[in-house]
Chain A
Amino acid sequence: MNGFAAFLDRLAFELSRANKLRLMTEFLRATPDPERGYALAALTGALSFKFAKPGLIRALIAARVDPVLFGLSYDFVGDLAETVALLWPAPDDADRPASGNGAPLLLSEVVAALATAGKQDLPRKLSDWLDALDETGRWALLKLITGSLRIGVSARLAKTAVADLGGMSADQIEEVWHGLAPPYLDLFAWMEGREAKPASSDPAPFCPAMLAHAIEAKDFDALAPSEFLAEWKWDGVRVQAVVGRAANGRKVARLFSRNGEDLSAAFPDLMDHLAQVPCREFALDGELLILRQGCVEAFSVLQQRLNRKSVSAKLLADYPAHIRAYDLLRHDGLDLRPLPFVQRRARLAGFIEAGVGPRLDLSPLVAFRSWLDLADARRDPRRFGAGADAEAIEGLMLKRADSLYIPGRPKGLWYKWKRDPFTVDAVLMYAQRGHGKRSSLYSDYTFGVWREDDLVPVGKAYFGFTDAELAELDRYVRANTINRFGPVREVAHEPAQGLVLEVAFEGLNRSSRHKSGVAMRFPRIARIRWDKPPCEADRIETLEALLKA
């Protein structure tokens, strides 16, 4: 545990990707099985414990530290594991016997104990460990339990480090990853050339997704329109539908998010349809949407189906899920990813045309000759073939016709060209300290627009500004605080005194939870209007007009 903690600590302060990789590869090389496997599991977020949850940590610290002092500390530090590690009333390191009682605690022991300990034993076990560990050890242990390490290492980077052990690529690891489990003895054996590649026993494995870059104005000059295909960018959820056959001959269908999270349980209607598609095996990328009377519904409608543990028959009937497909990755035993997009697309069209049922269709191409044509289509999808579905379109996707399917976000192949965001001039009303890397800075802003003579909050934004702007905003908040409510500061917001923020957002939903009746999607600070008096900010009528549109 100490070695793992020290490693994690160094990794957390390392800034460069190359050095992070080097640190991880060295650690994985030097650390024996199964310790390194559990470390890898921690880095990739593969560990989850039934009873050891953040709530348990909160309960333990609540029994030891005044709740007000804990609250203020947590607010300042911005990370539960770190706050508790710093607050834990353990004997000073100097007073603690150098090696504790007997052998030092191993990461594998911790993982095993966390996985098997019952709800009753866990608090005692955890507090004993926390007493025995030093501050860094406590931090690492608590990080394991809270789940997200948040040390600037993605699962992908950790897999790259493993791949480096065997001179392979991260994609090769991804191929087998879904069939593996901690402590990954077979994976390390493969990397070290002691055993063959682990066989994937998963009949419907996830294919790591290929992602697009946001296009910038300057990119167009370097790109030839004739080399690209364009599709609508649907305002739904990117998913991957995979169907395969298990060893016992039964058909297995799965629905994954673009990060490989299994969404199947929430969409039994879709899974039934996928399993009935007359095809032995396939994997396709598409957009999860709600279709009613053949028409795509807005994202706010789809939201009714998201993040649900159980789905009622009524929900299934009222919100029928649908996949609009745009890429085919596997088909009848063939891996299509090494083929150019235009060929994959042709196979996809053939696959859909052969009959795949009512819940699956093909995302159409948008015809264009020049970037100017395409700009017109982006501005008005309705006129360029989208018809009634235009409201569910949030821009365009540009894909090089010859692009192979490369997991990750390769440069120069796929671009997203989103429609221009909506903007509104709003007045800063409250500010709250941020979390993570922005802890202790006032970086979360609640803003409002005028309704009659009062400001009514319409949203909250915590990004869109540069570090320099954040420093200015933070200073502004501190200098113009009129009230403090714990971590929240109320900032002066009068017609003649206050700060106007130009807020950009992607859409507006009706909301009964918000006093204003509206909820913004993806709001962020587009500009700080130091020049504009609050009385000139927008009114709620402006937003309500958008809802009706």
Chain B
Amino acid sequence: MAAEGAATGVEVLPAELAPAENMAAIDILSLTPAGLYCAAGDFFIDPPRPVSRALVTHAHSDHARPGHAKVLATRETLALMAIRYGPGFAGSAQAAGLGEKLMLGPVEVGFHPAGHVLGSAQIRLALKGRTLVVSGDYKREPDPTCAGFKPIRCDVFITEATFGLPIFRHSRTSAEIEKLLASLKIFPERAHLVGAYALGKAQRVMALLRAAGYDRPIYLHGAMERLTEFYASEGVGFGEIRKVSGADRAKLRGEIVICPPGALQDPWSRGFPDPLAAFASGWMRVRARAKQRGVELPLVISDHADWNGLLATIRETGCEKLLVTHGEADALTHWARGQGLLAEPLHIRAHGEEDEPMHAAAEGD
């Protein structure tokens, strides 16, 4: 570990930031109990606990936590954090423009679009001629609600692998929307409750419905109102949206209602006429997952890269070393080693409750 660190110019860490057991110092960054840490620039990326300076890839709660002294993130991410955590979510906040370069100590830092949700970014770090990219969460499929992913060449690529198994293919989102519309025709007497994560997925599903020509009002659960208003203020068109709270639920036969996944099994869902539970998530590719959640209409719509998306991205970065933050790391590192890359799983637990599919906190998948 020490030899590798010396060769790549990593500074010696203070004891409390020493790398966790079996996790190597990783180039410009180290993995510490408090998250990914850059000693040279003295900042963390997506730390799970409050720190002096955090760089945040996107506003999902497993990446963006409140209480940091300083936060650097895209303008949209900062705005979304303020909506979720209140205006005092950090001591101070600095907006990073996509594609801009700025210096934190000797480290050059840049934010680049990740295509995951509105404001999501990859973070590129450069130090002494070495470059490293932290992907955050990302997808390769076009999304009308956010800027598309741009691959960035780097020496070390730190990727997510939420769907890092070859069984995951998500590239037929339009067919999934068609499936939802077809179900409305088959069951015009049933309210279609579509479970979708409040930030990103809900807005994407609504935008995709409009793109598919669906022109009825879409009903929205209260937990998503403010986030959706923010998307709309950023220029994403949703057509007519109505709040469930103001509607007579018994009359919502054959209508689409977007709600958080947890609400599907809530008493909340019972007021609707013969509700049909749909769920928009990459996990819906696996039957047992849908059945575990009592989902009747699984919609494979994901905001994460699927297997082919992960492989294509890794190739496009041209990296020599791959580190996997969270998700199905074993399969992806196995593949990468077969390609001649250095590859290691990091097992960052705070990220991506993807590893804990039943737990409510999972976001954005």
Contacts and interface: CB of A to CB of B under 8 A. Distances in A.
B331 A439 contact: no
Contact of A83 (B167, B290, B330, B335): B167
A76 B358 contact: no
Interface string B152-169: 000000000000011111
Contacts of B334: 66, 68-69, 72
Given A478-B356, A479-B349, A79 B331 contact: no
B355 A82 contact: no
A438 B288 contact: yes
B233 interface: no
Nearest to B175: A93
Contacts of B292: 437-438, 441
Interface string A52-82: 0000000000000110110011001111001
A12 interface: yes
B349 A440 contact: no
Nearest to B171: A92
Chain A contact surface mostly: helix
Contact of B359 (A69, A76, A82, A475): A475
Interface string A449-478: 000000000000000000000110011001
Between B290, B292, B294, the greatest number of chain A beta carbons within 10 A of the residue's beta carbon is seen for: B292
Contact of B285 (A69, A86, A470): A86
Given A436-B288, A471-B359, A475-B359, A73 B298 contact: no
B166 A478 contact: no
Contacts of A475: 356, 359
A475 B357 CA distance: 10
Given A76-B286, A441-B358, A15 B166 contact: no
A13 interface: yes
Given A437-B291, A475-B356, A479-B349, A73 B296 contact: no
B297 interface: yes
B331 A73 contact: yes
B358 A474 contact: yes
Contacts of A78: 288
Contacts of B267: none
B288 A471 contact: no
Contacts of B359: 471, 475
A72 B288 contact: no
A13 B166 contact: no
Interface in A371-424: none
Contacts of A86: 167-169, 285-286
Given A13-B296, A478-B349, A77 B166 contact: no
A63 to B, nearest CB: 15
B358 A13 contact: no
A489 to B, nearest CB: 11
Contacts of A14: 296
B356 A474 contact: yes
B128 interface: no
Interface in B162-209: 165-169, 172
Contact of B328 (A76, A82, A87): A76
Contacts of A484: 330
B287 A79 contact: yes
B288 A439 contact: yes
Contact of A471 (B168, B285, B338, B358): B358
B167 A77 contact: yes
Contacts of A437: 288, 291-292
B210 interface: no
Nearest to A482: B21
Q: Which 4 A-B residue pairs are closest in the complex by CB-CB distance?
A: A86-B167, A439-B288, A72-B331, A73-B167
Interface of B: 165-169, 172, 285-292, 294-298, 328, 330-331, 334-335, 338, 349, 355-359
Given A12-B287, A76-B328, A478-B349, 15 more contacts: A13-B290, A13-B297, A13-B298, A69-B331, A69-B334, A72-B331, A76-B286, A79-B287, A79-B288, A86-B286, A93-B172, A440-B289, A441-B357, A441-B358, A484-B330
22 contacts: A12-B287, A13-B290, A13-B291, A68-B334, A69-B335, A72-B328, A72-B330, A73-B167, A78-B288, A79-B288, A83-B167, A86-B168, A86-B286, A437-B291, A437-B292, A439-B286, A440-B286, A440-B357, A470-B358, A475-B359, A479-B349, A484-B330
